[in-house]
Structure 1
Amino acid sequence: MMRAVRMHQHGGPEVLRVEEVAEPTPGPGDILVRMRATTVNHRDVWIRKGHPHPAYRVELPAILGIDISGEIVGMGGAVEGFAIGERVTANPYIPCGRCRYCVRGRPQYCPHFTVFNGAYAELVAIPAVQAVKLSPQVSDVDAACFPNTYITAWQMLMGKARLTADDVVFVWAGTSGLGSAAIEIAHLAGATVIASAGSARKLDVLRRLGPDLMLDHSSPDLVERVLEFTGGEGATVVFEHIGQATWERSLALAASGARIVSAGATSGDDARMNITQMFVKQVQILGSRLGTMEDAFAAGKQLNAGRFKPLVGATIPFEELAEAHRLMEAGEVIGKVVVTAG
């Protein structure tokens, strides 16, 4: 038996309970990982609350958690290239491998993909093909922050927007897990970075991430400030993960021919857009979700080289995972909310 945090019904953080459950048995192609750290993501909160979109439906009772950092303690008979005791993280995006997109080498567009759940447990069975090995200098906490944020941001900026050093990137909510990852990746690409935050406290934290221009995203002159900074042209890449509250301004501050890449709608789905402004500017709107193993290995190389330092706002023990959800939902933490094993 092992301990896991399970939910038997949808609701508030109180539905998350520490329970004794059976240990998972790894399949032939699986590795069994002892969880050392995981995180809380918006996705976890939406699933817990019962988000109506099919992508957020799980069978109950459920063990949530998509980010994993830990060490291998067992493996299936068909697994090669891994050893007991090795430390790993894993890409939570799992394409079907059989549809027309997967067989043509385009797994990012798989309509039958699944997203891993189950990291809120002492032991986690993961397909070995999803695993990314960790170098000794990468901490468990930093590795736990990697999968959902850095792989997603890498696919958005490098896979979809094709970011180059010539670009000016505007990043909404630069002190969020995804936003801070985007800033680090944009710096690696040599791009100019403009980033926003929503309070004086968050702007102080954002300053440490080194954007070329910082803006309060509640400021009424935000678009004008971006245009002024860019000589009237605007940002060539807009990193969108907010949705309803920011979409009109994202289009307004975008340069002619810009790429708006979006992988989230934390403020809501009902966004408005000036269609004429969109086609006159010839803006490309690029949807994105999580990332492929190509993204995972490329971003993982940077993690293992010490080039990523995730922004961690709180570290909570496993037994208090419900409190970690409360903090995430309340927006009280700047950066990632990490949950560590006992």
Structure 2
Amino acid sequence: MRDVPAPVRRAGEVLLRVHAAALNRVDLYMRDSGSGITHSLPQTLGVEAAGVVVEADADSGLVPGQKAVIYSNAFCGQCRYCLAGDQPLCLRAHIMGEHRDGGFAEYVAMPARCVLPLPDHVDLAEAGALLAAYLTAWRMLFGKRALRPGETVLVAGVGGGVAVACLQLAVHAGARVLVTSSSDQKLARAQALGASGAINYRREKVAKRVMEMTGGEGVDMVIDSSGAASWDDSLRSLRRGGRLVTCGATTGSNPPADLQRIFIRQLEVYGSTGGSVEECRQLIALFASGAVRPVIDRRFALDDIRSAFDALSDGSQFGKLVVTMT
């Protein structure tokens, strides 16, 4: 923790007074090394932020005092991907908390196109946990080959922010959701949120149990953000023609590819991260309607952020860890 000058808003930017910002695995990575991500120290971390507009250009559509949430990808708006509306693939992206100062502060400045208004009635602590895990989950479920009502999805390692978000959004979409965890308590909480089947991977063989639960067919989709530790079970849990979507590799990034299984069973493997501005707007509309609310495990004051990082590191949480600035 340190005192620094408030950010100076440039033309085309919005100055936001931050109310809340959730922690994400990338924050741990940036704290510990940030290797491979171009950044200059000192840098404020935090890839999420929700709060109240302090300053904005008159033509921005935003006014002081308005609640807003930040889309963390400061995309260029000019490359082929931005012009196609696929901002997560921007060639010149500068992500808040990775390449530029982030949301673990009282104030943050971002381009106006990255600051999205919120209705007055929403909870800013929940909004501060919305646009990393839940936007990532939205794109994973509905981005490439969308999950459909009546399909079955396996969410590996439920408890983390993305996995819990996938559970909630898949249930809302009318899918059947199976979950895995090493914690019976997390499995029970997942079932309370609508999971129809739960597997403790410490005691049960995941793929075998999935086949039992699906009448020997397998699931339509697997959501896997773990990587090496769960990859084999994830592939073996899929039905013929099923798809696996991955957004992380917390247990290792180089599992056996099992190419024979992939081509013989005609499986699809998708990589996914973040979401587009349009997907973000759709998610915000769902959140504002009250249909889906982020699950917050614990809240921390900004000056206790080290404890929040420790809690994220030990993996004991179910849902999001949120830092509040007020």
TM-score range (shorter-chain normalised) is: over 0.9
Q: Is the 8 A contact 1:97 1:103 kept in 2?
A: yes
Which residue of structure 2 lines up, in the alignment, with residue 84 of structure 1? Answer: 64
Of the three residues 254, 268, 271, the one matched with 1:284 is 268
Q: Distance in 1 between matches of 2:108 and 2:34?
A: 24
Q: Distance in 1 between matches of 2:309 and 2:240?
A: 40
Of the three residues 103, 106, 110, the one matched with 1:126 is 110
Question: What letter matches 2:73 in structure 1?
Answer: Y
Which residue of structure 1 lines up, in the alignment, with residue 7 of structure 2? Answer: 24
Of the three residues 106, 114, 123, the one matched with 1:139 is 123
1:330 CA drift (Å): 1.6
Which residue of structure 2 lines up, in the alignment, with residue 274 of structure 1? Answer: 258
Of the three residues 49, 52, 60, the one matched with 1:68 is 49
Which residue of structure 2 lines up, in the alignment, with residue 309 of structure 1? Answer: 293
Deviations 1:26-49 (A, max 9, x none): 122211111111111100000110
1:227 CA drift (Å): 1.0
Q: Is the 8 A contact 2:296 2:319 kept in 1?
A: yes
Aligned residue for 1:246, secondary structure, equals helix
Which residue of structure 1 lines up, in the alignment, with residue 182 of structure 2? Answer: 198
1:137 CA drift (Å): 3.0
Question: What letter matches 1:121 in structure 2?
Answer: A
Of the three residues 260, 283, 306, the one matched with 1:299 is 283
1:84 CA drift (Å): 0.9
Of the three residues 321, 332, 336, the one matched with 2:305 is 321
Q: Is the 8 A contact 2:119 2:288 kept in 1?
A: yes
Which residue of structure 1 lines up, in the alignment, with residue 80 of structure 2? Answer: 100
1:269 CA drift (Å): 1.0
Instruction: State yes or no: 1:59 paired with 2:40.
Output: yes
Q: Distance in 1 between matches of 2:85 and 2:50?
A: 28
Q: Distance in 2 between matches of 1:59 and 1:290?
A: 23
Of the three residues 111, 115, 122, the one matched with 2:91 is 111
Aligned residue for 1:147, secondary structure, equals coil
Question: What letter matches 2:64 in structure 1?
Answer: I
Q: Distance in 1 between matches of 2:34 and 2:6?
A: 28
1:176 CA drift (Å): 1.4
1:296 CA drift (Å): 0.4
> Residues 39-54 of structure 1 correspond to what in structure 2 (within 5 A)?
39-52=22-35, 54=36
Aligned residue for 1:180, secondary structure, equals helix
Which residue of structure 2 lines up, in the alignment, with residue 14 of structure 1? Answer: none
Q: Distance in 2 between matches of 1:94 and 1:81?
A: 18
Which residue of structure 1 lines up, in the alignment, with residue 145 of structure 2? Answer: 161
Which residue of structure 2 lines up, in the alignment, with residue 209 of structure 1? Answer: 193
Q: Is the 8 A contact 2:87 2:275 kept in 1?
A: no
Q: Distance in 1 between matches of 2:225 and 2:301?
A: 28
**How high is the sequence identity, in percent, across the aligned residues?**
29
Question: What letter matches 1:138 in structure 2?
Answer: V
Q: Is the 8 A contact 2:176 2:196 kept in 1?
A: yes
Which residue of structure 1 lines up, in the alignment, with residue 205 of structure 2? Answer: 221
Q: Is the 8 A contact 1:161 1:261 kept in 2?
A: no
Question: What letter matches 2:263 in structure 1?
Answer: F
> Residues 155-194 of structure 1 correspond to what in structure 2 (within 5 A)?
155-194=139-178
Structure 1 stretch 98-107 or stretch 304-313: which is displaced more? 98-107
Q: Is the 8 A contact 1:27 1:76 kept in 2?
A: no
Question: What letter matches 1:22 in structure 2?
Answer: P
Aligned residue for 1:80, secondary structure, equals coil
Q: Distance in 2 between matches of 1:292 and 1:188?
A: 20
Which residue of structure 2 lines up, in the alignment, with residue 37 of structure 1? Answer: 20
Aligned residue pair count: 322
Q: Normalising by the residue count of structure 1, what TM-score does the alignment of the two structures yield?
A: 0.90
1:279 CA drift (Å): 0.6
Q: Is the 8 A contact 1:34 1:123 kept in 2?
A: yes
Aligned residue for 1:233, secondary structure, equals coil
Q: Is the 8 A contact 1:93 1:292 kept in 2?
A: no
Q: Is the 8 A contact 1:93 1:291 kept in 2?
A: no
Q: Is the 8 A contact 2:218 2:237 kept in 1?
A: yes
Which residue of structure 2 lines up, in the alignment, with residue 149 of structure 1? Answer: 133
Q: Over the residues paired in the alignment, what is the CA RMSD in angstroms?
A: 1.5
Deviations 1:187-242 (A, max 9, x none): 12111111122212212222221111111133342111111111211111111111
Deviations 1:274-328 (A, max 9, x none): 1101111111111111111011001111000011222211111011111111111
Unmatched runs of 5 consecutive residues or more in structure 2: none
